[in-house]
């Protein structure tokens, strides 16, 4: 090994790193532990029990919020991914064009603009439409989620496209493949891991959203995260821990799947 | 027959415009093994991609059997390409790769199957039909790429340095294989390479390119024996360059005065070369140290290098300059010449080529 500057050997590096991990993960570990608490407190351990998982499972509000969360996340994932694929193709396959950087920035805008700004803007905008049309269904939430999920779906798809050998598509075109058939027979089969990764990321991001949902939702349209937020204002029981732990489990599974999909090459 | 007329390609980007092709005109004949030869960056691959349709020329036309290709997208051109990287589809088997072009042409299923079998046999890959392309060797991938490009029976097959990724032994085998495929299929091959030996051994005709222009077109012998320019003489094989004075010229025969004062009968690329100082190119194996008829350049033997098949003699010429000769070795031949000997380099009549520049 060359003896260059090694950050890992600097005094205090290990301590700071450990501190960061502890601060990051200890609360989550505690949250998971107390989801199994037999008592009603989120801080005093009274023994092991599945009680709060059963309570959450039978809670009709939780059931409704879960279904709503899944419906919104599913639709938002579908719409965002369907928008992200052509966007990724247009920004990787057409060469550089005038305004390329501008378009790229526009696609990724939701990552930069403070979420609260988007939330307030959507609140006002949708309020106008609600007044004009009288429609107050889930559609607003689905559209709002789709919009901020696009960059998350876009990134892995674009990365996959950039990693692909351009000569494959040229070869397909050379062998009499029209652009659409080249896409379907050569580009798409190789793009799938990227599309799945992008969709999963979008799904997790939608499932997790609080700020925009809180502003956009109409009465009785709580998703799981906004329902939990509402509960915290009243009595805090380990039921919230149980729901969080379930959400955490879903996210971990999806993130692990995402990791394998985006890592695997050929 | 492909007629390429005054094709230019100027790349404009952030930097200064780059002329990749500079008014290139060439006619490639039916059923010909035609090679574009030149150093990297000479425009040979750009020209190939213009024919394939991946690059639009800035100006000029490419006409194949009376049809102007320039306006057609790649998928409407009856030409197929063998890519340098092979570009085999990794999610398909060998047979599926070969079938791809036929399927895109909407050929009936039975015909596709039959042609794929023929192609597999042609490149001797029948047993590998159901393998994934990642499970076969580089040489086998090369064969599949060839079969895939030949399967739709294109009018022209374009080959972009297809042998450069293979090791020496395999490259030799594939050179013969390519010649065999070309004569068996009767398809016109346009072959791009920077390897002069590959070009000389395989081609019917060669176009030597440099800096976006075709410098000379001719058969391998023509190009090697009678290079028209210094670049061609220098790029292909080894050459001695002599500063001589052109005295007279008649057709392709010329008379020059050598530095030694002797007059020599040599070849000229045409009557358009003006009398006066010119460069004479002489191949090392065309000159002789054993006397005979011809013009003489006296000198001193500076070095003798044994190469197995032949021996190289480095001669320090009287009046300056160095001349290298090559003579084929015979079994148990005694070395009669030693460094420091006075020798005479003889150019027989017709040996030596006047260059245009």
Residues in chain B within 8 Å Cβ distance of A170 = 54, 74, 81, 83, 87
CB contact (8 A) between residue A168 and residue B152: no
Which candidate from B87, B100, B101 shows the least CB-CB separation from A170?
A: B87
Domain topology for B2-225: Rossmann fold (3.40.50)
pTM of this prediction?
Answer: 0.81
Which candidate from A174, A181, A266 shows the least CB-CB separation from B52?
A: A174
Residue B181's pLDDT is what?
A: 86
Partner A contacted by B90 (CB < 8 A)? yes
Is the CATH number of domain A60-263 1.10.150.20? Answer: no
Q: Per residue in B301-351, pLDDT tens?
A: 999 998 888 899 999 998 788 999 998 888 877 777 888 888 889 999 889
Residue A41 contacts residue A158 (beta carbons within 8 Å): no
Q: Per residue in A59-110, pLDDT tens?
A: 899 999 999 999 999 999 999 999 999 999 988 887 667 778 888 888 888 8
Partner A contacted by B149 (CB < 8 A)? yes
Q: How far apart are CA A177 and CA B76, in angstroms?
A: 9
Partner A contacted by B54 (CB < 8 A)? yes
CB contact (8 A) between residue A174 and residue B75: yes
Structure tokens at B161: 């340095």
Q: How far apart are CA B218 and CA B178, in angstroms?
A: 20
User: What would the DSSP string read from start to end of B50-115?
Assistant: HHHTSS--SEEEEEETTEE-TTS-GGGSSEEEE-TT----TTSBHHHHHHHHHHHTT--HHHHHHH
- Mean pLDDT (chain B) is 90
Is the CATH number of domain B238-354 2.60.120.650? Answer: no
Residue B51 contacts residue B62 (beta carbons within 8 Å): yes
As a whole number, mean pLDDT of residues B22-47 equals 93
Partner B contacted by A216 (CB < 8 A)? no
Residues in chain B within 8 Å Cβ distance of A178 = 75, 104
> A162 to chain B nearest CA, in Å?
16
CB contact (8 A) between residue A165 and residue B87: yes
Q: Per residue in B220-259, pLDDT tens?
A: 999 999 999 999 999 998 999 999 999 988 888 899 998 8
Which residue of A169, A172, A174, A180 to mutate against B (max B Cβ within 10 Å)? A174
Residues in chain B within 8 Å Cβ distance of A180 = none
Residue B162 contacts residue B149 (beta carbons within 8 Å): no
Q: With bands split at pLDDT 50, 70 and 90, how would you rate the model's confidence at B113?
A: very high
CB contact (8 A) between residue B75 and residue A165: no
Domain ranges of chain A: 60-263
Domain ranges of chain B: 2-225, 238-354
Phi and psi torsions of B12, nearest 5°? -115, 125
Partner B contacted by A61 (CB < 8 A)? no
User: What would the DSSP string read from start to end of B125-176?
Assistant: -GGGTTSBGGGS-HHHHHHHHHHHHHTT--SEEEEESTTTTS-HHHHHHHHH
């Amino acid at each position: 090994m060359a003896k260059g500057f090694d950050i890992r050997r600097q005094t205090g590096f290990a301590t700071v790193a450990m501190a960061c991990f502890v601060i990051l993960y200890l609360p989550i570990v505690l949250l998971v532990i107390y989801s199994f608490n037999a008592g009603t407190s989120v801080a005093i351990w009274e023994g092991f029990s599945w009680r709060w998982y059963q309570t959450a499972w039978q809670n009709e509000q939780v059931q409704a919020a879960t279904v709503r969360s899944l419906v919104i996340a599913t639709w938002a994932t579908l719409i965002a991914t369907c928008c992200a694929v052509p966007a990724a193709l247009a920004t990787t396959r057409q060469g550089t064009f005038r305004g390329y950087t501008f378009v790229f920035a526009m696609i990724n805008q939701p990552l930069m603009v403070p979420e609260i700004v988007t939330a307030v803007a959507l609140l006002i905008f949708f309020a106008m439409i609600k007044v004009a049309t009288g429609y107050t269904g889930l559609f607003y939430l689905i559209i709002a989620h789709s919009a901020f999920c696009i960059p998350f779906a876009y990134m892995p798809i674009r990365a996959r496209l950039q990693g692909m050998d351009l000569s494959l598509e040229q070869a397909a075109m050379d062998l009499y493949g029209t652009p659409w058939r080249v896409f379907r027979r050569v580009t798409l089969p190789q793009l799938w891991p990227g599309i799945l990764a992008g969709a999963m990321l979008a799904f997790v991001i939608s499932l997790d959203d609080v700020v925009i949902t809180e502003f956009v939702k109409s009465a009785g349209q709580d998703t799981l995260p906004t329902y939990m937020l509402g509960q915290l204002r009243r009595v805090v029981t380990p039921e919230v821990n149980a729901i969080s732990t379930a959400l955490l489990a879903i996210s971990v599974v999806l993130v692990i799947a995402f990791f394998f999909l985006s890592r695997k090459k050929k | 027959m492909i007629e390429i007329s005054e094709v230019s390609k100027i790349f404009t980007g952030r930097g200064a415009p780059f002329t990749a092709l500079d008014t290139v005109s060439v006619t490639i004949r039916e059923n010909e093994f035609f090679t574009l030869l030149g150093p990297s960056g000479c425009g040979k691959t750009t020209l190939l991609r213009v024919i394939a349709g991946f690059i639009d020329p800035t100006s000029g036309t490419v006409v194949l059997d009376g049809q102007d290709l320039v306006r057609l997208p790649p998928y409407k051109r009856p030409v197929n390409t063998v890519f340098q990287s092979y570009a085999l589809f990794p999610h398909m088997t060998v047979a599926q790769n070969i079938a791809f072009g036929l399927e895109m042409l909407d050929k009936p299923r039975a015909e596709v199957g039959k042609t794929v079998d023929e192609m597999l046999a042609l490149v001797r890959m029948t047993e590998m039909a159901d393998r994934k392309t990642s499970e076969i060797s580089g040489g086998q991938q090369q064969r599949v790429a060839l079969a895939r490009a030949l399967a739709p029976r294109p009018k022209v097959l374009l080959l972009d340095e297809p042998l450069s990724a293979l090791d020496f032994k395999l490259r030799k085998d594939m050179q013969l294989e390519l010649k065999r495929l070309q004569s068996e299929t009767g398809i016109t091959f346009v072959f791009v390479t920077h390897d002069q030996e590959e070009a000389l051994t395989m081609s019917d005709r060669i176009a030597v390119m440099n800096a976006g222009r075709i410098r000379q077109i001719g058969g391998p012998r023509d190009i090697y024996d009678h290079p028209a320019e210094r670049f061609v003489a220098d790029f292909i094989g080894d050459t001695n360059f002599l500063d001589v004075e052109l005295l007279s010229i008649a057709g392709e025969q010329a008379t020059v005065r050598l530095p030694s004062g002797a007059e020599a009968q040599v070849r000229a690329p045409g009557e358009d070369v003006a009398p006066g100082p010119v460069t004479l190119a002489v191949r090392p194996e065309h000159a002789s140290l054993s006397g005979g008829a011809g013009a003489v350049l006296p000198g001193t033997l500076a070095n003798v290098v044994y190469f197995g098949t032949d021996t190289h003699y480095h001669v320090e010429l009287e009046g300056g300059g160095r001349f290298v000769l090559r003579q084929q070795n015979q079994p148990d031949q005694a070395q009669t010449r030693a460094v420091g000997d006075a020798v005479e380099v003889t150019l027989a009549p017709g040996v030596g080529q006047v260059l245009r520049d």
